[in-house]
Amino acid sequence: MTDLRDNALRSWFLGPRAENAGLLEGLVVEALRDHVFWRRNFHPEDGFAIRELDKRSEGYEDAVATLTQELLGLLAALKRDVPFFSGRYKGHMLFEQTIAGQIGYFAAMLYNPNNISAEAAPVTTRLELEVAAQLSRMVGYDPDHAWGHLTSGGTVANFEALWIARNVNYLGVAAAGAAESLGVGLEVALPGGGRAPATSLPLWELLNVENVAALDLWHALWQCAPKEDVRRALAAHSLSDVGYQDYGLMLEKRYGEALPAAVVLVASTAHYSWEKIVRALGIGANRLVHLPVDSRFRLDPDALWDQLRQFAASRTPVLACVSVCGTTEESAVDRLDRVIEVRERARRELGIAFHLHSDACYGGYSAAVTWGADGQRRSGAQIRRSTGIAWPSDDWVDAVVALEDCDSVSLDPHKLGYVPYPAGAFLLRDRRARDLVAVNPPYLTPATASAADDELFLGRYIFEGSKPGASAASVWLSHKVLPLDERGYGYLIERTAIGARRLRDGLAAADLGRFEVLVLPEPDINIVCYIVCPRSGASLTELNELNEGIYRRMSLNSETPAPEYIITRTRFQSPTYDGAVGSILERLGIPVEEWRAAGSQGLVVLRSTVMDPFLATPGPGSDHVTGFIEALARAAGHGGSQAQ
């Protein structure tokens, strides 16, 4: 089986030397002509708006000349773009895209469907829902209860997660307020067990109703009174209608207490977009609480527990906790299974509940590794038989399987899904929560629309409006060719994990003359981090200068228009990396205080994302492990001096 998959892999991409150029060109021309003849066959009696004679006119010819000339200029300019396709690119999370993703995008782009609703995209809105169901299944959700859609990228997906989380968080308050004003009695399940009338609960308990219980309560409310009355009563008690400024006053008046402002917990290594998101939502950057990570860059579950205890003691509502599956810098995968244990314990022992979101924008697709062709989960041992290496560990599998217990997951097809930008995705375990952000509640839907039509009006439930149906077609076709299991994406990502380990092992063993390479802990997926060190030792400043110099020589910039290999770098700063950096500094012989004092300079760390599946074996072409190490040695040799 491995051989067949390895050969299939060779058809999935255009290839570093455009080896599959004939295949791609054939499909592109086919898709274009197919579209052309669709137009020709649509009411052939309509005649022509553009006649052959028009094409011989001066105005037409001049315009075509302009178009062609400017296109040639664009093509020339693009030659200065980054060769993501090459094994020589070892930088950001960028590689080439699957042919399926490219041709799916191109074919649908000719039709330019707008996935805001079925009326503007009868075909691709269905594909989008199909894709969302596939992704839901991959993360372990029940597609019948889950819901999802594509977004422009991870930021919008994460934004929607927290936007919905806030609405769910305040749903208990809103439903209790509405029930009171409607004069109906409703019971709600408590996190510690048992049930109580919603209208009798104090504010703290209403803010700590579990997601499913809150949605059940809300659902029950709609059964108690005419829909228009419920809608109005809810609006009078919902944060999204009332707005923060008046809501605080309202709660203080009703409950006689002003609880501390709600917090959002994230791993300290979380993407910087979370800061944007809490700022935009009005939650405030100061209410974003960063949790320490361990030496593998994973959220520390014990630290989470300590924080939750403190927040419970100070009665500070926890709006949401964000765990990361595949950090942007290191591809670290949080021990989500342990995070979920902590959440469960907090519910039982502290009586607190919160929305748990996994930011799996980078790593989400690696869940494909856990699925067999038979639709069953594979164990760690089964997967290791396929990879032939010690990856993944059983812990890793547990962590990834635990995605199924998150309230929401964001994951980007345009990252490890290998499709063209833009394609992010947002998945919700309990589809009912989407109604909390619907602007046009379905209850007001005209009777003429069927439930199926309603489902296809995506614009109602999502943050964005107009959006490319081509993106849905792209992801859909790529999933058809590369199934989300061991045959397709699972295999692809296994290869990158193997390649990343080949690169890391090669670096660890490399002889760079005056220098050696300190490799950081084994990545959870496929991003390799390393630091080049003089064998004679160096201060933090010297080390940073050396590695920054190497980075400049090995990246595409005005100084080096044609680097041999391309890498990138990050800076481990305090306090973000406090929990992770100890043993690294020790090996470097740098005192922690020196690092702390460096502030935003931090510790420069070189980074190579291995999305290239061909790196796993030396293969018939050049070996880009040995080649890279040689280039790194050359760059290091020049690194001490000023880059020219």
Interface residues for its own copies in 423-482 (CB under 8 A)?
424, 437, 439-440, 444, 446, 448, 463-471, 473, 476-477, 480-481
| Smallest distance, its own copies to C-beta of residue 585, A | 20
Nearer to its own copies, 213 or 263 (CB): 263
Tell me the C-alpha distance between 154 and 149, whole Å.
Answer: 12
Q: How far is the CB of 335 from its own copies (least distance, A)?
A: 26
506 to 545: interface string for its own copies, x by CB under 8 A: ----------------------------------------
Indicate whether 20 belongs to the interface with its own copies (CB under 8 A): yes
Q: How far is CA 46 from CA 37, 50, 53, in A?
A: 14, 12, 18
DSSP letters, 327-370, are -TTT--B--HHHHHHHHHHIIIII----EEEEE-TTTGGGGGGG
Compute, in degrees rounded to 10, the torsion defined by CA atoms 263, 269, 273, 274.
Answer: -10
**Taking the complex as a whole, how short is the minimal distance between the CB of residue 595 and its own copies, in angstroms?**
16
Output the CA angle 88-93-97, nearest 5 degrees. 80
Piece of 271-279, 395-403, 512-520, 588-596 that binds its own copies (CB under 8 A) = 271-279
Q: Which of 517, 524, 512, 504 is nearest to 615 (CA)?
A: 504
- Output the smallest distance, CB 567 to its own copies, in A: 11
Residue 239 near its own copies by CB under 8 A = yes
Q: Is 572 helix (H, G, I), strand (E, B) or coil?
A: strand
Asked if 23 touches its own copies (CB under 8 A), the answer is yes
Question: How is the chain split among helix, strand and coil, in percent rounded to 5?
Answer: 50, 15, 35
Structural contact between residues 293 and 268, judged by C-beta atoms closer than 8 angstroms: yes
* Residue 100 CB, nearest approach to its own copies (Å): 6
DSSP state of 299: B
Closer to its own copies by Cβ: residue 455 or 522 = 455
Q: Report in angstroms how near the CB of residue 569 gets to its own copies at its nearest.
A: 10
Does residue 273 interact with its own copies by CB under 8 A? Answer: yes
Segment near its own copies (CB under 8 A); pick from 88-96, 185-193, 336-344, 390-398: 88-96
The residue from 184, 189, 220, 261 that contacts its own copies (CB under 8 A) is 261
71: number of Cβ within 10 Å: 10
| Listed residue (91, 355, 390, 357) closest to 207, CA to CA | 355
The reply to whether 637 sits near its own copies by the rule CB under 8 A is no
Cβ 207 to its own copies shortest distance, Å: 12
**Taking CB under 8 A as the rule, does residue 313 contact its own copies?**
no
Nearer to its own copies, 193 or 253 (CB): 253
Q: Which residues contact 11 (CB under 8 A, 6 or more apart)?
A: 20, 23, 99
By rule CB under 8 A, what count of residues binds its own copies?
Answer: 174
Instruction: Please tell me the distance from the alpha carbon of residue 321 to that of residue 301, in angstroms, as a whole number.
Output: 12
| Interface region with its own copies, contact rule CB under 8 A, candidates 189-197, 413-421, 530-538, 577-585 | 413-421
597-626 residues in contact with its own copies (CB under 8 A) are 600-601, 614, 619-622
Q: Closer to its own copies at the Cβ: 112 or 200?
A: 112
Is 582 one of the binding residues for its own copies (CB under 8 A)? no
Give the one residue of 262, 265, 510, 635 binding its own copies; rule: CB under 8 A.
Answer: 262
Residues 6+ apart with CB under 8 A from 69: none
Pairing state between β 603-609 and 527-534:
antiparallel
Taking the complex as a whole, the smallest distance from the CB of residue 478 to its own copies amounts, in Å, to 10
**Token pair 């209403």 in the structure block, residue:** 206
Interaction between residue 416 and its own copies (CB under 8 A): no
Shortest Å distance, C-beta 571 to its own copies: 8
- In the complex with its own copies, the residue whose CB is nearer, 36 or 508, is 36
Binding mask 138-167 for its own copies (x = CB under 8 A): --------------xxxxx--x---x----
- Whose Cβ is closer to its own copies: residue 7's or residue 536's? 7
Length of the chain in terms of residues written:
644
Task: Select 231 or 432, whichever has its Cβ closest to its own copies.
Answer: 231
Alpha-carbon gap, residue 466 to 472, rounded angstroms: 13
Is 257 among the residues that bind its own copies (CB under 8 A)? no
Footprint of its own copies on residues 47-86 (CB under 8 A)? 47-51, 54-55, 57-60, 62-64, 66-68, 70-71, 74-75, 77-86
Alpha-carbon span 424 to 158, nearest angstrom? 10
Q: Which of 47, 222, 87 is nearest to 626 (CA)?
A: 87
Beta bridge partners of 532: 517
Task: Report residue 60 as tokens.
Answer: 């037409």
Q: Of 197, 202, 243, 388, which lies in the binding site for its own copies, with binding defined by CB under 8 A?
A: 243
CA distances to 206, 234, 248, 311 from 259, rounded to whole Å, are 12, 21, 9, 11
247 is an interface residue for its own copies by CB under 8 A:
yes
